[in-house]
Amino acid sequence: MTWRPVLSRSVVFRHDRVRGADLLVLPERVVVLQGNAGSIVRLCDGVRDVDAIVAELAERHPGAPVAEEVPVFLGRLRKEGWLK
């Protein structure tokens, strides 16, 4: 089955204007997303599959190693239970 990543219901994604960072806020935990990680999570809407997310980011960042790094990053977030 094609994986269409979406945030788990206990995870809230938000921008933190005080620290200028993107965050995942959980009931007992705050995860500070680094670099472009937020722009990847923003595309995890349960509609796009991983290929679509990669394609969209590749278009935005030509020449970046998107196809290698993005699936690995999404896999790590799934392993933590933050993405379903």
User: Which residues contact other proteins (rule: CB under 8 A)?
Assistant: 9-10, 12, 14, 16, 18-19, 23, 25, 27-35, 37, 73, 76-77, 81
Q: How far is the CB of 3 from other proteins (least distance, A)?
A: 15
Tell me the one-letter amino acid at 12.
Answer: V
Q: What H or E segment, with its residue span, contains residue 14?
A: strand 12-16
Nearer to other proteins, 21 or 52 (CB): 21
Residue 70 is encoded by which pair of tokens? 């993005």
- Which CB sits closer to other proteins, 25 or 64? 25
Alpha helical stretches, state H, the chain: 37-41, 50-60, 66-79
Read off the DSSP letter of residue 75: H
Residue number, 30 or 47, with CB nearest to other proteins: 30
